[in-house]
A and B are shown apart, each in its own frame.
Chain A
Amino acid sequence: MPKVVTREPMSVLERSFVPEIIRGLSTTIKHFFHAASGQNYHEKQHLWFLNKGNVTYNYPEDVRTYPKRYRGQHRLMLREDGNVRCVACMCCSTICPANCIHITAAESDDPSVEKYPASFVIDELRCIFCGFCVEACPCDAIRMDTGLHVQPFLDRNNAYYGRDLLMELGELSVAIQGGDKS
């Protein structure tokens, strides 16, 4: 038994298309004027008509505000004398699930510091921004709080961020190195 589809015949007004087209036009015109009134940034406005409109962000000009704990590009923190805080304990490279941190340890000239990273390379293309390296670090040496996107690369070699590049955004950390010994 085939299914019988009943089709409503169009009324005379519908067949003349005019009222239906006007109905459609009123919808598109509404959208047109809402979008023409500018951008809506999801912030509640006082006037009802200001809460309508386009919600697209024009990225390089309008940047969305990120939450404070947003995990962005890495940075290496600094000691008081400006040297890298990292002691090359390998915690971060061990826990890294993407295996993107490569550290070569070396003996430090400073007698109070045992080791330092002779090279500290993060492959930003492999990094999955999980934040485990930050959690694992015992010295507050690595952070991901820059709020920056990692820029797209034209050459894969540019994606290897070295120690000095990571230190450029670094600042003095107030945490006591190696924990409070007293």
Chain B
Amino acid sequence: MLADTVIILVKILVILLGIALTAGALLTFVERKQSAWIQNRVGPNRANIFGHIRGDKFKDSIKLGGLLHLAADGLKMLLKEDIIPKGANRVLHTAAPAIVLFPVLVGFAIIPWADHWCAGGLTLLVNHRDVCLSESHNLFSIADLDVGFLFVFAIASLSVYGGAIAGWSSNNKFSFFGGLRASSQMVSYEVPMGLSVLGIVMIFGTLNLNEIVRAQGDLLFGVLPAWGIFVQPLGFIIFLTAMIAENKRAPFDCPEGESEIVSGYMTEYSGLKFGILQLSEFIAVIFIASIVSVLFLGGWQVPYLYGDGFHMPHSAFFPLFALLFFVVGGYLIAVGVRREQMLQKIAGGLLVVLGLVYAVMSTTQANGVQHLPYEGVVLLRLGTMFAKVIFMVWLQLMIRWTVPRFRYDQIMQLGWKIMLPAALVNLLITAIILIPLFS
């Protein structure tokens, strides 16, 4: 009993502090850097310690590639004056950032970062589902809820209250408009979002997120992994769009709309409260990335990797994967060496090592099967989950810096006239395809 409590506390600490808050803070820097690169700029790289702004000392100072801007920004947020405007509702104005942050953090409770830890041996069924022979421990998600799926949407839609309350309590017309826009936008996107993922539930037949990920390890036509994006491509697009809209980031940042209503519901916030509002947006980016990875990108599933090792459909898949990693990694290393960039060298090196692993396995495999120790499988799965989350975060930032803001009526039209019918059609087609499979 005590051990279970300790494990849960450790999980909460690691996932919330280690993943959500740290990565969320890191994203404030990443977004600045990534937007800079998209726009052919250099991005933040000037903050330094143990140096001087001018002269030769600047060259020797520690800059960490601009990462110190994080510390500078955080310190600035902490030290700024916290202003509560005249006529504002003091209690709600102070509570609103917490109300925004809370649901975003709670959502992380049900994300499975890897399969349950199987203490004893496991066996593989014919359909590639692995069964744990002894008891399994839930080590990689805070709570393994059977209604995990519903919990996500129940919690995710709560965060709009924070925005609405922040807008109302600020005693500012622009803030109020921001809050109103946030609420109405939420209403028009909740419905298609819920409908778009119903297809996933129909196909995999469960609401438990870990079970959904497990089911995505099946193979379609014996080759393609049954990831959500392959069985529900339309659902994926609608869900991603609706989630970005839910997070109130461009192209759906009408509630902030800085060219129209100053900064929306954040207008009257300053100091750490403003920082929390911003931070929760970035944490929500990570949450969206992880929930999309879990539902549509196969979560912790590595293609063709099962509990006891790789089971490739064909023995030629190992050298194919190795070649793929070698080409991409070699390209990265070539760029890194020529331009003297450490990051590219490291990333390319990692990919080449992965390619080497696949190359070694292609010699030791037996007819496409390569057994691996269970610990290695779990590590690979964790790494894959993180890689997918990082990719989705990157994609969201790319979309945010590519697409201009929708006008207000365009958002409503997109939500009600395009996405809602599309989600319904998607649901109908899914049902029609599934009926013969089940009867």
> A residues engaging B (CB < 8 A)?
15-18, 21, 24-25, 27-29, 31-32, 34-39, 45, 47, 49-50, 53-56, 58, 60-61, 151
Contacts and interface: CB of A to CB of B under 8 A. Distances in A.
Interface in B33-76: 34, 36-42, 45, 54-55, 58-59
A50 B338 contact: yes
B32 to A, nearest CB: 13
Interface string B319-351: 000000000000000111011110010000000
Interface stretch (B79-87, B199-207, B383-391, B397-405): B397-405
Contacts of B237: 18
10 contacts: A28-B401, A31-B37, A31-B38, A35-B40, A38-B335, A38-B344, A39-B339, A47-B338, A56-B41, A58-B42
Given A16-B418, A32-B37, A45 B402 contact: no
Interface size class of B (residues with CB under 8 A): 20 to 34
A-B pairs with lowest CB-CB distance, top 4 = A38-B339, A35-B37, A38-B341, A28-B402
Nearest to A151: B54
A37 B339 contact: yes
A27 B38 CA distance: 9
Given A31-B40, A38-B335, A38-B340, A61 B34 contact: no
Contacts of B41: 35, 54, 56
Contacts of A27: 402
B262 to A, nearest CB: 27
A49 B331 CA distance: 10
Contacts of B339: 37-39, 50, 53
A32 B58 contact: no
Contacts of B55: 60
B428 to A, nearest CB: 18
Contacts of A16: 418
A150 to B, nearest CB: 13
Contacts of B40: 31, 34-35, 54-55
A36 B54 contact: no
Interface string B395-416: 0001101110000000000100
A32 B36 CA distance: 8
A49 B336 CA distance: 12
A60 B58 contact: yes
A39 B40 CA distance: 10
Contacts of A24: 402-403
Nearest to A38: B339
A39 B340 CA distance: 9
Nearest to B45: A58
A133 to B, nearest CB: 27
Contacts of B42: 54, 56, 58
A50 B39 CA distance: 18
B338 A45 contact: yes
A87 B41 CA distance: 51
A54 B37 CA distance: 8
A152 to B, nearest CB: 8
B398 A28 contact: yes
Contacts of B338: 45, 47, 50
Contacts of A34: 40
Interface string B169-198: 000000000000000000000000000000
Nearest to A15: B418
Contact of B335 (A49, A55, A58): A49
A31 B335 contact: no
B418 A32 contact: no
A54 B33 CA distance: 13
Nearest to B46: A58
Contacts of B401: 28
A29 B397 CA distance: 11
Contacts of B36: 35
B418 A21 contact: no
B58 A61 contact: yes
Nearest to A41: B339
Contacts of A60: 54-55, 58-59
